[in-house]
Structure 1
Amino acid sequence: MVLIMAIFSQWSFKTGFAEYLHNSELAKAKSLTQQLARYYEQQGSFQALQAQDRNWHQLIAQLEPNIDLPPPQKLPEPRIKKRALPLILRLSLFDQHHQFIVGDPLAKQLEQGQTLTEFPIVIQLGQTVGWLVVRQGQPITDELAEAFIKQQSTHLYWIILVAAGLALVLSWLLLRHFLKPIQLLKSGTQELAEHKLNTRIPITSQDELGQLAQHFNQMAETLERNAINQQQWITDISHELRTPLAVLQSESEALLDGVRPLNLKAIESLHQEIMGLGQLVEELHYLARADSGELVLEREALILNEVIAHSVVSIQALIQDKGLTLELEAVAPIKIAGDAQWLKQLWVNLLTNSVRYTDSGGLIKITYQLNPAQRTVQVLLDDTPPAVPSESLPYLFERLYRVDASRQRSKGGSGLGLAIAKAIVTAHQGMIAAEPSPLGGLRIRVVLPYQEGK
């Protein structure tokens, strides 16, 4: 590219300089026609110029005073010269009938690449009395012009060399700049393929490559976190399954060994453990469907507060057994689009969790807040103490998370109810969060889109 630009620059300079010299010669020749017109008015003809070449030479010598004219009989032959003749030796005078008078004897014998330019010689009466003819070809006519061209060419060659050197250095730097992060990305990808999920790439720039490295690190961090969560998930599931299986094994062995009598109470105990194990497996199945995108919703027009009221009825026995009071705010029907079965499961899970961990004699309160600007409804589920530690609030919806693991098992919780609730809310394009309650316990905030109209 640098070479092409250099060649083009050299050609452009030579062409422009040649055009400048060409026009300069024509301007000098045109000024000479005025002198020839005055000469004709004074002499009445050009016969004196034709008779004496010296008179012609004296007239045109003022155009190029630095040029020494040779004797007429020793005019140089331009065809055998490498350099074009000076302008004053390429001028010729013709009469009004284009008959040669004096000047360049080769004016009408053009070589390839040469041109003739004619200027009329007009006296004051407007009569054309002759023609001044300029023969032009190669316009570089003196050593000074050639020296200037040579000097400029030398400078251009040096500029080309310097530019080429700078281009090579910049190309090497740019190549290194681009190849280094690409090589890092390549090696990082290979390490990820080898399950080295703690791989990170240093971010050394803010350009597209830097952003690509940042996205790579985010992807690697996500993969590492998912791998850790998966490992923790498997560990937690194993632990959750081990407890009821261990109970079943110990009780069945006690029955087989005759340590415990085989009666209705023993059978009920075994049945309770089996039902708990079945519930755990079913909840794991719900979450597996949510993770794989198979949590299909059969949407229909529903009244949200009616769905919640039905859910309250289904756990009314638990509320009474615990000695709790439940206050359900009475509001106008709130219309939503959702899956009735899944939404009922949502509120049963949330209410069951609240009933399970609220002290006896406490209060559970459900209120509604409409946001017409965003067309959403907030359902607030508040309960009385005990409260959840603030550091545990962000993790309540994680699978198998327990604030107090031993205490929750004793209360019959699997640690999956709130995780399932979050999956259901997310499937309905909603949001769920946990925060301290003004009643002193826990507040669950559920935000769902609602529909306007009757």
Structure 2
Amino acid sequence: MTTTDRRPEVGVPPEPAPQASGADRTVVDGPPRVAARRWLVPARARIMGWMLLLMAVVSLTVTVVTRNLLMQRVDVEVSAALQQEIQELEEVARGGVDRATQQPFQDVYELLYNHLQRQFPDDDEVLVGWDGTPETGSPLRQTRAEPFPLADRLDVLRSVLVSPVNSGSIETDAGEMRWVKVPIIHPTNPDDVGAFVVGYFIDRDRAEVNQTMQTLILVSLLGLLFAGIAAWVIAGQILAPVRLVRRAAAEITEHDLTQRIPIHGKDDIAALSEQFNAMLDRLEQAFAAQRQFVDDASHELRTPITIVRGHLELMGDDPADRAAVVRLCTDELDRMNRIVADLLLLAKSERPDFVRTAPVEITELTSDIYAKVRAIGERDWRLEAIGEGVAHVDQQRVTQAMVQLAQNAVQHTRDGDEVLIGSSMMEGRIAFWVTDHGPGVPYADQGKIFDRFSRGSTGGAPGHRTGAGLGLAIVSAIAEAHGGVVRLVSTPGEGASFGIDLPAYRGGPR
């Protein structure tokens, strides 16, 4: 039987559409890409699609494997049935005795007739004896209904008899017939010959297998339908927190970073929500730092700008007056430059590369700091303690912080007052400090003097109001960038001790 494959060819690209001429061709950049993204398949549908595809592949594989196994089983059973019929005939021929009369068979005809009358083949089997040669002999049939009248179809029967092999397959009006034959020769008369033919029509068994496969395919399709519904529901439940994340992200603006995602459980979605909330915390801090920088800069720069503008507007023609105005404007511009530099330094402190740690000898670092701070003011500088060991810190940033603390001590003390510098290292931590005997820090100010533009009360210190209130904020930023903290020990009226406490090995090998 010949079949024609009408399936479309796979892998053949479609013919390209005719291109427009140069005058008609239009180049489009961004908008079409954005519009195309709106038609992307949602994640929920993709999850359901992949699950259905996986189940369809599994079902198809199971169906194909099951069909092949069942077809092989049919072939094995058919072969076994044919061999059984042949073995029964061979046993009768080998005995050579009629079991009813216990007399030897007189000829091949009697053997075949006797054997055919005692056989009860299956509904799909047909048994035929042949007495004589294929050209001149005649068939012997059973007196029962047969699936195919093989004894009457001499063209088919003779094609089996003349075949050089003893088994094979042939197409008939009733379908494919598997057959085996046994040539028979009388033991005492070589001219007395015949054959025994057994045929089995296999189409009905194959039809049963195909019917079973149809049932299996129908059940698989129903299973895929229910699996698709279940996959849609389950995917919706799994992606519900993700949709919550998306909605929260859509509601977040530069002016509202307070949205947070509730965390339930300890699975991957909970971890995603936790990381998203942590990202929002960082964004909120970044935006807050940005707004604070802008507010602080505008607030602090407004005063020197106003002073400079006012004096320039009132400046007369007197040379002495002009010189005084120029000197005042220069001082205000210098102060403005210091404020900008400090604000930029604080803004940079939010970056991960603000500090670059390296192995530093604490003894040498403390000596260098002591040598530098002595030039800040006429004070009785004393080196109280020196730590010993190697720490991984940013030498320049630590020096900057200590110089700032020393400058703060100078502003709160008078000429000749004692100021102590010290360092220590123990149990994996390193500490630097500056101690003075000035007015100290009031208890009400100790919690806020490290904030930006916070100067606290004067306490009678003559130079306390000369800065912009950014020095201690810079010290705090340097300590935090190292993973450390700032320390303050002060009793009002008895002086103060400012310091930084840093991990000795953060950022490098121990």
Please tell me whether the aligned partners of residues 49 and 55 of structure 1 are also in contact (alpha carbons under 8 angstroms): no
Match of 1:234, SS state, is helix
1:368 corresponds to which residue?
424
- Taking a change above 3 Å as real, the CA distance of residues 447 and 23 of structure 1, as seen in their structure-2 partners, is closer
Report the Cα distance in structure 1 between the residues aligned to 2:355 and 2:62, rounded to whole angstroms: 70
Question: Does residue 42 in structure 1 map to residue 95 in structure 2?
Answer: yes
Please tell me whether the aligned partners of residues 109 and 131 of structure 2 are also in contact (alpha carbons under 8 angstroms): no
1:295-444 correspondence to structure 2 within 5 Å: 303-317=364-378, 319-320=379-380, 326-330=382-386, 344-356=399-411, 364-369=420-425, 378-381=430-433, 383=435, 386=440, 398-401=451-454, 404=456, 410-421=464-475, 430-435=482-487, 437=489, 441-444=497-500
- Taking a change above 3 Å as real, the CA distance of residues 136 and 271 of structure 1, as seen in their structure-2 partners, is same
1:21-420 correspondence to structure 2 within 5 Å: 21-43=74-96, 50-51=109-110, 54-61=113-120, 64=122, 86-87=124-125, 89-90=126-127, 105=151, 106=156, 108-109=159-160, 110-111=170-171, 113-117=176-180, 134-138=198-202, 140=204, 152=212, 156=216, 159-177=219-237, 180=240, 183-192=243-252, 195-202=255-262, 211-241=271-301, 276-287=335-346, 303-317=364-378, 319-320=379-380, 326-330=382-386, 344-356=399-411, 364-369=420-425, 378-381=430-433, 383=435, 386=440, 398-401=451-454, 404=456, 410-420=464-474
Match of 2:374, SS state, is helix
Please tell me whether the aligned partners of residues 380 and 444 of structure 1 are also in contact (alpha carbons under 8 angstroms): yes
Report the Cα distance in structure 1 between the residues aligned to 2:224 and 2:345, rounded to whole angstroms: 68
1:225 alignment partner AA: Q
1:70 corresponds to which residue?
none
Please tell me whether the aligned partners of residues 411 and 464 of structure 2 are also in contact (alpha carbons under 8 angstroms): no
| Per-residue deviation, residues 46-94 of structure 1 (Å, max 9, x unmatched) | 7666347652333322x55xxxxxxxxxxxxxxxxxxxx522x157689
How far did 1:135 drift? 3.4
Report the Cα distance in structure 1 between the residues aligned to 2:117 and 2:421, rounded to whole angstroms: 122
Report the Cα distance in structure 1 between the residues aligned to 2:105 and 2:304, rounded to whole angstroms: 133
| Per-residue deviation, residues 92-140 of structure 1 (Å, max 9, x unmatched) | 6899999998565445452175444467999xxxxxx998654345253
How far did 1:20 drift? 2.5
Report the Cα distance in structure 2 between the residues aligned to 1:9 and 1:176, rounded to whole angstroms: 29
1:353 alignment partner AA: N
- Taking a change above 3 Å as real, the CA distance of residues 305 and 7 of structure 1, as seen in their structure-2 partners, is closer
Question: Does residue 20 in structure 1 map to residue 73 in structure 2?
Answer: yes
Match of 2:468, SS state, is coil
Report the Cα distance in structure 1 between the residues aligned to 2:390 and 2:264, rounded to whole angstroms: 53
How many residues align? The count is 400
Identity %: 19
Q: How does the TM-score come out when normalised to structure 2?
A: 0.57
1:364 alignment partner AA: L
Computed over aligned residues only, the root mean square deviation of the Cα atoms, in angstroms, reads 5.7
Report the Cα distance in structure 2 between the residues aligned to 1:326 and 1:186, rounded to whole angstroms: 60
Report the Cα distance in structure 1 between the residues aligned to 2:246 and 2:408, rounded to whole angstroms: 49
Please tell me whether the aligned partners of residues 366 and 423 of structure 2 are also in contact (alpha carbons under 8 angstroms): no
Bigger proportion of residues as helix: 1
Q: How does the TM-score come out when normalised to structure 1?
A: 0.62
Gap runs ≥5 in structure 2: 1-52, 98-103, 142-149, 161-169, 186-192
Question: Does residue 445 in structure 1 map to residue 497 in structure 2?
Answer: no
Report the Cα distance in structure 2 between the residues aligned to 1:274 and 1:433, rounded to whole angstroms: 33
Match of 2:469, SS state, is coil
- Taking a change above 3 Å as real, the CA distance of residues 138 and 433 of structure 1, as seen in their structure-2 partners, is same
Report the Cα distance in structure 1 between the residues aligned to 2:202 and 2:258, rounded to whole angstroms: 74
- Taking a change above 3 Å as real, the CA distance of residues 391 and 212 of structure 1, as seen in their structure-2 partners, is farther
How far did 1:366 drift? 0.7
Match of 2:453, SS state, is coil
How far did 1:213 drift? 4.3
How far did 1:304 drift? 1.5
- Taking a change above 3 Å as real, the CA distance of residues 197 and 336 of structure 1, as seen in their structure-2 partners, is closer
- Taking a change above 3 Å as real, the CA distance of residues 221 and 37 of structure 1, as seen in their structure-2 partners, is same
Gap runs ≥5 in structure 1: 65-84, 123-128, 257-261
| Per-residue deviation, residues 250-288 of structure 1 (Å, max 9, x unmatched) | 9999999xxxxx9x9999999877765554344234445
- Taking a change above 3 Å as real, the CA distance of residues 417 and 432 of structure 1, as seen in their structure-2 partners, is farther
